[in-house]
Structure formats: structure tokens, C-alpha cells
């Protein structure tokens, strides 16, 4: 199957063509991404209205570039897949309606994709991973452990009860005067920092279970920054290192517990831990997960950075996965600002809100 994927749920306008046979990993024929970082930088975050306008202006060209890079024509593709949520509603509408129009004009089926399912299945595109596996989804809007049992079969084992990790990185960057997007900026500053100078909490580690919390951690950074003001570059680096270390420690311990639950449900398989989403690009967090994998003898799969952050290849790939299961017709599915993964794919025509 060859599928054109379209992603517009946040501040990346992206289109890609991916191909997959009946099983095994996929092939990325093209992967075009235009980040809107420069449009949003002066506001210190994504401005939904600006994002939607930018998507409208450039999406046609991005799709054309993806088709050209892949050297395919409309007759060569089997479906058009687009993010239908969750995300900023203006952008989602632009991408989904564009995909619907292309699908109708080319007489191809439309696949309405849950953006999180794209992150969740990326490891199957890159590594041909078999089900089941334990997924740590860490992105700008989500932080959760999911048992991925099959396409459309996701069970949430634990989640953040407040901020997502990416969000905590972005807010921490902002309060320390670092540029948007915050994740890479905090990671870069942390590189030369001393993680022990500022003691920060490890929220919820003293409580049982796999739920997490990061809002308090961000507030602790704010308090420490206030007490250390005026902040030297050194202090900013040390705060970033301490923050990053605290997040990594929480992920390490909660990951261990999630693995225990996963193994209880799947005692006969060697467990695999997959990390996905934009925060999976963070080296300190990756390193902690690698440590956990070594300690527990679990295989860790972490897709390359460019496929961890938002992209359309992962959306096209969900299209491939859905086509593998049989004919698809999502032409009636509407855009959804909220769309939890564990309550989703199979009931794609439900109300969704
Ligand atoms: P969602 O997928 O939940 O809808 P999103 O699509 O906005 O949210 P992604 O694009 O998957 O999220 O990830 C973006 C997030 O990843 C941002 O919060 C960004 O700061 C964070 N991020 C990116 N690179 C790094 C890094 N090196 N270290 C930490 N965080 C990072
Ligand atoms: Mg983004
Ligand atoms: Fe994302």
C-alpha cells in the first residue's frame, strides 16, 4: 500500500508518502516538513490563528513537494491519510478538508488518523515491531504509558495528571528566558549544567502507580529561579540540568512500574519498550530509558529524532496499517480537538468529544 499522509495538528505543516506491504516495516518515499517556528517565536508559543493561516497558505505546495519527491502520481497511491485530531482545531480542519478534497478528486479512500496513533505506531514503520509493546508517549500535549496490543487496541496504564512533559519543558524554558520551542533549548542549556546545585522534587514517586505530575516541578523551578535571582547563565544551565534530571528520574521509576504491569498482561512475550513523541528526542531521557532497559533486560526502541517530533510519515503509516486490515472509508469523520487514544480508533465514527 502507498499512502499520502498529511499532518497539520500543531505548528508543523507536513506531507509524506509512505509504502508498506502486508507486514514488516515501511518505506518512507518522501517526508516534507515545514516548521512554523519563526512565525511563532516572537510570541513564545504557538498562536493557533497564525498556525491555521500558515497551514492554509503552504499545505498545497507541501503536498505537491511530497508527491514529487516520492516520484508518484495520484494513480500510484491507495489512500490519503490526514490527522483528524487531537490538536489545534483550525489546523486540523485545514489538513482534513484538504485530504478529503484530494481523496474525492482522485477517487481514493480517506483515512482519518488520530495524531497520537501516528506517534504510537512509528516504531512499526521504522523497525517492523510486532504487537504487543509498551509505549511511553511523551509529547507537547501528552505523557502516558500505553499498552499497544494492536492497531486500534490501546490501553492506557498511566498518565500525567497535569502538564505533559513537553509542556513542562516549554514552560520552564519560558520562565528562564530561553527561546521557544523550549525542549531543545532546555536540553542545550542543561548540557553544561550541574544537576545537583538546585534540589528539585520527583513528584508522585512516593505514591504507588504509574501516574505522573509535572506542574509542581515547573513551579519548583520558578521558586528556585526567584530565590537565585538575578540569574547568571551558569544558574540557568544548572536549573535546566536539575529539571531535566528530575523528569528523567520520574520517567525511569514510573517506566519500571509500567513494565511490571505490561509483563503481568503479557507474561509469555519478551517485553519491548517504545518511546515516541517530541520529547523522545531528549538525550537525557533516552539515556535513562536505556538504563531502565539494561536493568530489566527489556529491548528499547526509539525512532530517529525526525520521526519522534511531528511529521506526516507517521500519519501516512497509520493509513497503511488501516488498509492492511481491510477497506477504509472515513469520509464522514470530522475534525476533533480532543480525541483520547485509548477510546478511539475502533469507534472512529463516534461523537469523539
Ligand atoms: P501532541 O503530539 O501531544 O499533540 P505535539 O504534536 O505538539 O503534541 P510533538 O511535536 O510530538 O508534540 O512534540 C513537541 C514537544 O516536544 C514540545 O513540547 C517540545 O518542547 C518537545 N521537545 C522537542 N525536542 C525536545 C528535546 N530535545 N528535549 C525535550 N523536549 C523536546
Ligand atoms: Mg510542533
Ligand atoms: Fe505530536
pLDDT of residue 347 exceeding 50, the answer is no
Residue 353: the pLDDT is 27
Q: How many Å apart are CA 151 and CA 156, to the nearest integer?
A: 14
169 lines ligand 1 (CB under 6 A): yes
End-to-end CA distance of the chain: 31
pLDDT of residue 350 exceeding 90, the answer is no
314 lines ligand 1 (CB under 6 A): no
User: pLDDT > 70: what percent of the chain?
Assistant: 97
CA 333 to ligand 2 center in whole angstroms: 24
118 lines ligand 1 (CB under 6 A): no
170 lines ligand 1 (CB under 6 A): yes
Q: For residue range 115-146, what is the model confidence (pLDDT) as tens digits?
A: 999 999 999 999 999 999 999 999 999 999 99
- Pick from 134-138, 271-275, 288-292, 347-351: least confident: 347-351
Residue 298: the pLDDT is 97
Neighbours of ion ligand 3 (CB under 5 A): 139, 310
Q: For residue range 22-65, what is the model confidence (pLDDT) as tens digits?
A: 999 999 999 999 988 888 888 888 888 888 999 999 999 999 99
Overall average pLDDT of the 188-214 stretch: 96
- Give backbone dihedrals phi and psi of 349, rounded to 5 degrees, phi first: -95, 5
Residue 36: the pLDDT is 84
pTM value is: 0.93
249 annotated to bind ligand: no
Q: How many Å apart are CA 118 and CA 321, to the nearest integer?
A: 10
- Pick from 99-108, 228-237, 344-353: least confident: 344-353
Cβ-contact 148, 120 below 8 angstroms: yes
Q: How many Å apart are CA 90 and CA 9, to the nearest integer?
A: 8
pLDDT of residue 348 exceeding 50, the answer is no
159 lines ligand 1 (CB under 6 A): no
The protein residue with its alpha carbon nearest to ligand 1, atom 12, reads: 140
Q: Specify the residue for cell string 500519519.
A: 315
The protein residue with its alpha carbon nearest to ligand 1, atom 19, reads: 183
Grid cell digits, residue 115: 495524531
Q: 125 or 346: which carries more pLDDT confidence?
A: 125
Residue 349: the pLDDT is 35
Q: How many Å apart are CA 321 and CA 318, to the nearest integer?
A: 5
Q: How many Å apart are CA 201 and CA 216, to the nearest integer?
A: 8
137 annotated to bind ligand: yes
Cβ-contact 162, 144 below 8 angstroms: no
Contacts of 302 (CB under 8 A, 6+ apart): 274, 275, 280, 286, 289, 308
CA 277 to ligand 1 center in whole angstroms: 6
Grid cell digits, residue 279: 520529547
> Which of 186, 189, 278 has the most ligand 1 atoms within 8 A of CB, as the residue to mutate?
278
Compute the mean pLDDT over every residue in the chain, rounded to the nearest whole number.
94
Grid cell digits, residue 159: 498518565
Number of residues written out for the chain: 353
305 annotated to bind ligand: no
329 annotated to bind ligand: no
Grid cell digits, residue 21: 506491504
In this prediction, residue 244 has a pLDDT band, given cuts at 50, 70 and 90, of very high
CA dihedral of residues 110, 111, 115, 116 (deg, nearest 10): 170
In this prediction, residue 343 has a pLDDT band, given cuts at 50, 70 and 90, of low
282 lines ligand 1 (CB under 6 A): yes
CA 183 to ligand 1 center in whole angstroms: 7
Q: How many Å apart are CA 144 and CA 259, to the nearest integer?
A: 13
Q: 201 or 41: which carries more pLDDT confidence?
A: 201
Provide the ipTM: 0.97
216 annotated to bind ligand: no
Grid cell digits, residue 176: 528562564
Amino acid at each position: 500500500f502507498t499512502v499520502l499522509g498529511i499532518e497539520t495538528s500543531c505548528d508543523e505543516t507536513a506531507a509524506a508518502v509512505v509504502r508498506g506491504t502486508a507486514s514488516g516495516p515501511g518505506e518512507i518515499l518522501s517526508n516534507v516538513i515545514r516548521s512554523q517556528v519563526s512565525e511563532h517565536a516572537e510570541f513564545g508559543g504557538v498562536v493557533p490563528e497564525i498556525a491555521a493561516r500558515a497551514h492554509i497558505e503552504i499545505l498545497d505546495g507541501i503536498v505537491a513537494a511530497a508527491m514529487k519527491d516520492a516520484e508518484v502520481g495520484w494513480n500510484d497511491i491507495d489512500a490519503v491519510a490526514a490527522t483528524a485530531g487531537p490538536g489545534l482545531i483550525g489546523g486540523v480542519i485545514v489538513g482534513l478538508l484538504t485530504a478529503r478534497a484530494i481523496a474525492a478528486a482522485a477517487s481514493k479512500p480517506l483515512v482519518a488518523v488520530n495524531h497520537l496513533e501516528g506517534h504510537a505506531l512509528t516504531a512499526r514503520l521504522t523497525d517492523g515491531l510486532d504487537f504487543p509493546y509498551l509505549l511511553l508517549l511523551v509529547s507537547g500535549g501528552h505523557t502516558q504509558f500505553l499498552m499497544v496490543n494492536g492497531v486500534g487496541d490501546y490501553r492506557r496504564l498511566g498518565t500525567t495528571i497535569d502538564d505533559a512533559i513537553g509542556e513542562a519543558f516549554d514552560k520552564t524554558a519560558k520562565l528562564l528566558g530561553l527561546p521557544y520551542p523550549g525542549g531543545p533549548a532546555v536540553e542545550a542549556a542543561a548540557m553544561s549544567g550541574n544537576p545537583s546545585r538546585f534540589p528539585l522534587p520527583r513528584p508522585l514517586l512516593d505514591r504507588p502507580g504509574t501516574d505522573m505530575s509535572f506542574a509542581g516541578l515547573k513551579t519548583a523551578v520558578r521558586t528556585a529561579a526567584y530565590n537565585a535571582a538575578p540569574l547568571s547563565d551558569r544558574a540557568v544551565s544548572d536549573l535546566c540540568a536539575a529539571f531535566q534530571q528530575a523528569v528523567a528520574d520520574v520517567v525511569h521509576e514510573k517506566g519500571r512500574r509500567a513494565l511490571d504491569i505490561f509483563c503481568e498482561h503479557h507474561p509469555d512475550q519478551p517485553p519491548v519498550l517504545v518511546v515516541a513523541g517530541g520529547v523522545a528526542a531528549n538525550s537525557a531521557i533516552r539515556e535513562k530509558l536505556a538504563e531502565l532497559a539494561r536493568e530489566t533486560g527489556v529491548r528499547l526502541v526509539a525512532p530517529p529524532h525526525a520521526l519522534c517530533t511531528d511529521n506526516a510519515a507517521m500519519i501516512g503509516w497509520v493509513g497503511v496499517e488501516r488498509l492492511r486490515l481491510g477497506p477504509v472509508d472515513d469520509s464522514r469523520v470530522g475534525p476533533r480537538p480532543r480525541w483520547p487514544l485509548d477510546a478511539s480508533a475502533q469507534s472512529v465514527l463516534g461523537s469523539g468529544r
